[in-house]
Amino acid sequence: MPASTRHHRALAAIVHCVGFLTAALPVLPTAATGEATKRPPPAASTGDAAARPLPAASNGPAAAGRPVAAAANGPAAVGRPLPAATPEPTMPSAPPAVPTPTRLASPAPAPKVSVAVAAAGGAEPGYRIEVRNAGSAAVDTTVRQELPQGVSATAISDGGREVRPGGSSATEVTWRLKLPPGSTTTLDTTLTSAVARQPVTAPACAFASDGRQPYDCASATWTAPGATAAEPQGTSGWRRQAPALLAGAVALLVLGGVAFVTWRRSRRPVAAALASDGPGTVYPRPAAPRPPNRRRTPPIWLIVPVAATVLAGTLGAAAWTATRQVTAIDTDSQPTNGAWKGTGVSGGLGVPLREDAFEFTVFRMICDPGQGARQCQATVGVRNLTPEHQSWHGKLQRAYLADGNWVTTDEQATRRANQGRDVFAEPMAAGSRMVLPLVFTVNGREAPQRLELRSGVFSAGVRVDVP
């Protein structure tokens, strides 16, 4: 065999053996690879490089000008990348050096500020206002007590002053307080009564530092000693007319009874002699079977008037009821006096008014100064008195001007006043209560004179006179 042939065969055998060993490297345990990657390589020196032998595959002409890894795979594996070692799935991964970002933290809870108002029992209207901070941090707040028309304050506790807010004809007593955590602050006022011995209602609210976002509100009504508080509840139209309907029904029944008795008495009696066949008969008749007795019916002249009267009464009652219901459902009409659900009621500031599902209390009404489009904000307390969730809508809440025109709630402005929360988006939970601002946008210098609030389109709603 020529020497060149033997040389080529030996070189091919060596290359195939090296390729076989390289293919078996991924099967080795990964722990050794991990230890090798964790251990830093020793610093290379000229002496070590000279003493360390080169790989066998790098010897010979086949490895000239090629990388060592490619030469180790042999001619059959040219261009194939070396398989990478993958860690076992059961091994835990190392913790990251930088913490993974989490979700945004929930906002801090609202301050737990509550207000309670109690009326004094003296000869002059007096009130005690308790403002409590149940939270763990101090809270800056502004407390305002609304005074009715024609009423002024004669005595105010320290720190308070009587002011007249812009856009309103009423006055109010204002305090600026810093409530320590877990504290209760007591404020006192004494007012003059506009009308002697008349009840006086003066609500009070605690607002945030901006003076517009309410924390809580409460109200109380002072009554003179020995007098009783006026009943604010109104009566709907159909209840007021119920006695008239009852009287009409009774009249129809009486007329029907009189007509029946008259008909019974108007029957012509038959002579006793003609009615018997015994002895003493004046006009004897031949023996013959008696015809069967037929049941007498009322005459036509009696049936027609009674039927016409009943029909006219039924149609009239149905038409009146339908007219009242349609007027109540019409959302473009003036304030309703009655509806399918609940009882229409009226009252003033600070008076709780109950309708079908909700109890509304208007504590304050203030408008921005100006002549063009301006916003009027009403601080309203809403309580769900039903055992189930109740939805309500901004388009059903109205503010009436002096000329009879009205506007509905400005829902975008109301959302901004409630710190971005849509108060009409979700129903109110059963038995829950909230105090919130409702914003109405009006044009001109006139402020709303009356608010109409309702829980649903079929509800009679409540009407509140605002200064």
Q: What is the pLDDT of residues 154-175, one digit of tens each?
A: 999 988 999 988 656 678 999 9
3-class secondary structure for 25-65?
A: HHHCCHHHHHHHHHCCCCCCCHHHHHHCCCCHHHCCHHHCC
Query: If we measure between CA atoms, which residue out of 432, 433, 408 comes closest to residue 214?
Result: 433
pTM beyond 0.75:
no
Assess whether pLDDT exceeds 90 at residue 340. no
The confidence band for 294, taking pLDDT boundaries of 50, 70 and 90, is low
Least confident range of 209-213, 280-284, 315-319, 431-435: 280-284
Least confident range of 131-140, 271-280, 358-367: 271-280
Mean pLDDT over 42-52 rounds to: 41
Return the higher-pLDDT residue of 16 and 85: 16
Stated as kind and residue range, the H or E segment containing 235 is none
Map out the domains of the chain with their CATH numbers: 3-77 (no CATH), 113-222 (2.60.40.1510), 345-465 (2.60.40.1240)
The confidence band for 224, taking pLDDT boundaries of 50, 70 and 90, is confident
Q: What is the pLDDT of residues 427-440, one digit of tens each?
A: 999 999 999 999 99
Assess whether pLDDT exceeds 70 at residue 451. yes
Mean pLDDT over 239-266 rounds to: 65
Mean pLDDT over 348-360 rounds to: 93
Query: If we measure between CA atoms, which residue out of 345, 383, 369, 355 comes closest to residue 217?
Result: 383
pLDDT of residue 407: 95
pLDDT of residue 122: 83
Return the higher-pLDDT residue of 457 and 440: 440
